[in-house]
Chains A and B, each alone.
Chain A
Amino acid sequence: MNTHALPVKLTDAQIEEFGRELDAMREEVIDSRGEADRRYIVTLIRIQRSMALAGRILILASILLLPAWEHGFASTAGFWLLLALGTLSLALAKIIENMEIGHNVLHAQWDWMNDPTIQSGTWEWDHVCPSDQWMHSHNIRHHTWTNVLGKDPDIGYGLLRMSAAQRWKPFHLGQPIYALLLALLFEWGVAIQELELGKFFTKKEHIETVGPQLRRTGRKIAAQVTKDYIAWPLLGVALTLPFALAGVGPSLLTVFLAVLGAGAVACLARSLWTYLIIFCGHFPEDVHVFSKAQVENETRARWYVRQMLGSCNIGGGRLFHVLSGNLSHQIEHHLFPDLPSNRYPGLAVRVRALASRYGIPYNTGSLTRQFGTTLMKIVRLSLPGGGAAAAA
């Protein structure tokens, strides 16, 4: 019997068996979660916070090396070196915080520990979008309706045409530029998408719900902006002020701009990185998109198949996987969104073998391949058509 509408050469019964094998893998991991997993996340959180702190301190310390101090160690090169190191440390901390820690904690991957300090319900992340709002649309809408046209908000983020099956509009001509802007301001793009402002103009009742949401997001944004772009630069100014009054040292404006710039570059680096990784998750060549009809009456096993066909992995080393929040194991993440991310590398080996046994495509490739084909798609689909190149 064959009632499913998925692009795989398997019978209904075979798909169900495939699903049972994945369920068994999931059970195995759940039963073996333990102290080693706890140590992983607790240690990572400690390292991440230390890096953030070290970054901030290095950035402030770099001020001391500005040539204007005219002491023995002062030099332009030393200043830039320290500033760059501090910025790097801060950027990496911000990346890890959003990707491997925040995203995964919010997926309830660590709730099983029952540790009151690491719970999806109370975790707030270093991001302009309040975590509970993000959790709702990401965990529920994107993960349930992955790559289903008209259902998954993440297909092109309501901005880009990422599948030939999406109707072309003249607006899409500019999409290489929109994509670039989105990369630069990814964090903000996500926050705006959560608010579903589009509905604001179409549905009246949305005004009532969007009001309080907007206020909360506004407060979150204010606190984030204060920290990164006001508080730290002003601290640098405050520390140099006594000297400036005495007529020694660098100008207060230089100090303010140096600290501000470092924070801004760290945020920008995170934005570009997360964009890079996330766009490799569901857009590279050969990924499948689905119609609403294809997911009618979907069983759990078929949902698994759809997740596999609609997600793409990126190859890389251990550090790369941590920095990508293990979204480089996007397939495993979509099959098992609530299993601890440190288990994805181990699961990937098994899932890939399973996929090959059942003859289901397993989309993985280098970062260059995955991002390159995504870029090509963005450009190609800015023009009408493109079915042969990009459609499933």
Chain B
Amino acid sequence: MMQTHPTPKPGFARKALDAVTRLTDSFSYPLRLSHYVELVNPLWATHAMQARVEQVWDETKNARTLTLKPGLNWRGFRAGQHIRLGIPVDGKHFTRTYTISSPPEREDGRFTITVKAIEGGTISHHLVRNVRVGDYLPIGLPHGDFHLPDAQPVSPLFITAGSGATPAMSMLRSMIAQERLVDTVHIHYAPHEFDVIFGKDFQQLAREHPRYAYHPVYTQQIGEPAVAGGHFSAEQLNRLCPDWQSREVYACGPQSLLAALELHFGNAGRARHLHTERFRAAFAEIPAQATGGRVSFARAGVQVDADATTSLLRVAEQAGMNPPHGCRMGICHACDTRLVSGCVRDLRTGKVHNEAGSVIQPCVCASAGDCELDL
């Protein structure tokens, strides 16, 4: 007979620890003991988690790997998951999400993230150029459903581009560490052979592990603008991975690549076997005649003109505000606010919202005429 498990009661150790914490916190009220422990070593604090930058390494001309040592509250993760990172820039605290690029099996308790500086980006550039060894950055716990199944074996096909290599790197190294690397194919898109995040590492892994087939695809040649047929196509897929119909596909890269993959695998009836990770939200087509409008931020007392495609979160930031946010792609609801009046468009669906008082996500909504937000 199967036994039904009652909801687990906190164990004795947990209860004892809670009691001790309550006791020690009564010495430091209204703070917690942890606030004072933080003075000695920020990594020992338990009221908020930080990570210390231990090492930096340039992967390409505009991508850098940061090795981070997390605080005591850190918990294990699955290869492919991501964390939220808090970054102060010009005195303001911003949040961005980064995939862990090292495997969970790494033994020194550290992990890495690999950041590519986005042109016109606010934060990624700062992480790539200005963060120094010894800096402390607030971090969150690992999250995300883009990971390999825990136990059952799959033959993966990784399709990645640019900084989308990060989850694949973590998964590969994890499978190797667990000695469960099965027949794996990896198609990776990058500008040219000297501009590949983890380019050398993937090649090295391919040499050491015959079951791992690495196919770099370069979309430019040095000195030449673009390579014909460099981007994803059915023909290319058949050539590089003839048995793609029997694989679980893990894809991470820009929207154009993921859209092409979704179309292709959908048509082949294999949509369920395509797992994607997006670094930014997929936006719907915006009607060409769509116009923006005047955006008012009621609490800040700020009014600016905005177009129909820029997210209201960005509009607010460009106006010098710093509203709360997390994922910036409509997942976490950290940015939720009320639409006081007017009209906004959800960029993911293209649907227009004009119900005054309704909750909207400014990170994935743009103005669709004049509007006022409770920010």
Contacts and interface: CB of A to CB of B under 8 A. Distances in A.
A223 B92 CA distance: 33
B88 A38 contact: yes
B90 A53 contact: no
Contact of A125 (B30, B39, B92, B323): B30
A117 B323 CA distance: 15
A356 interface: no
B93 interface: yes
Contacts of B26: 223, 226-227, 231
Given A226-B29, A231-B26, A115 B93 contact: yes
Interface string A109-126: 000111111000000111
A49 interface: yes
A224 B31 CA distance: 11
Contacts of A56: 27
B27 A227 contact: yes
B28 interface: yes
Given A113-B91, A114-B92, A114-B94, A49 B39 contact: yes
Contacts, number: 62
Contacts of A226: 26, 29
B320 A31 contact: yes
Contacts of A49: 31, 35-36, 39
A34 B48 contact: no
Given A35-B91, A37-B91, A38-B88, A114 B28 contact: no
A254 interface: no
Given A53-B39, A113-B322, A224 B29 contact: yes
A35 B90 contact: yes
A3 to B, nearest CB: 26
A245 to B, nearest CB: 22
A125 B31 CA distance: 8
A392 B373 CA distance: 43
B324 interface: yes
B27 A53 contact: no
Interface string A203-230: 0000000000000000000011011000
B35 to A, nearest CB: 6
A50 interface: yes
A231 B27 contact: yes
Given A37-B91, A38-B88, A46-B39, A112 B322 contact: yes
Contacts of A200: none
Contact of B30 (A36, A37, A53, A223): A223
A188 interface: no
B328 to A, nearest CB: 14
A115 B35 contact: no
A126 to B, nearest CB: 6
B30 A114 contact: no
Nearest to B38: A49
A53 B92 contact: no
A244 interface: no
Nearest to B24: A231
A8 interface: no
Contacts of A38: 88, 91-92
Interface string B218-253: 000000000000000000000000000000000000
Contacts of B39: 46, 49-50, 53
A33 B91 contact: yes
Nearest to B31: A49
Contact of B93 (A37, A113, A227, A235): A113
A231 B30 CA distance: 13
A232 interface: yes
A34 B91 contact: yes
A232 B36 contact: no
Interface string B21-56: 000001111110001100100000000100000000
B187 to A, nearest CB: 40
A125 B36 CA distance: 15
A223 B29 CA distance: 7
A45 to B, nearest CB: 9
B270 to A, nearest CB: 42
Interface string B74-104: 0000000000001010111110000000000
B217 to A, nearest CB: 40
Which of A37, A50, A53 is packed against the most chain B CB atoms within 10 Å?
A53
A46 B322 CA distance: 24
A113 B27 contact: no
Which of B39, B91, B92 is packed against the most chain A CB atoms within 10 Å?
B91
Nearest to B40: A53
Contacts of A112: 91-92, 322
Interface string A4-48: 000000000000000000000000001101111110000000100
B30 A35 contact: no
A24 to B, nearest CB: 15
B375 to A, nearest CB: 12
Contacts of B31: 49
B93 A124 contact: no
Contacts of A231: 26-27
Given A53-B39, A114-B322, A126 B93 contact: no
Nearest to A112: B322
A113 B36 CA distance: 22
A52 B27 CA distance: 11
A115 B93 CA distance: 5
Nearest to A46: B39
Interface string A245-284: 0000000000000000000000000000000000000000
Contacts of B88: 35, 38, 113, 115
Contacts of A115: 88, 93
A38 B93 CA distance: 10
Given A114-B93, A227-B26, A235-B27, 16 more contacts: A30-B320, A35-B91, A36-B91, A38-B88, A38-B92, A49-B31, A49-B35, A112-B92, A114-B322, A115-B88, A116-B86, A117-B48, A223-B29, A227-B28, A231-B27, A232-B27
15 contacts: A36-B91, A49-B31, A49-B35, A49-B39, A52-B36, A53-B39, A56-B27, A112-B92, A113-B93, A113-B322, A116-B86, A117-B48, A126-B30, A223-B29, A231-B26
Give the top 4 A-B pairs by smallest Cβ distance, nearest first.
A38-B91, A124-B30, A114-B322, A114-B93
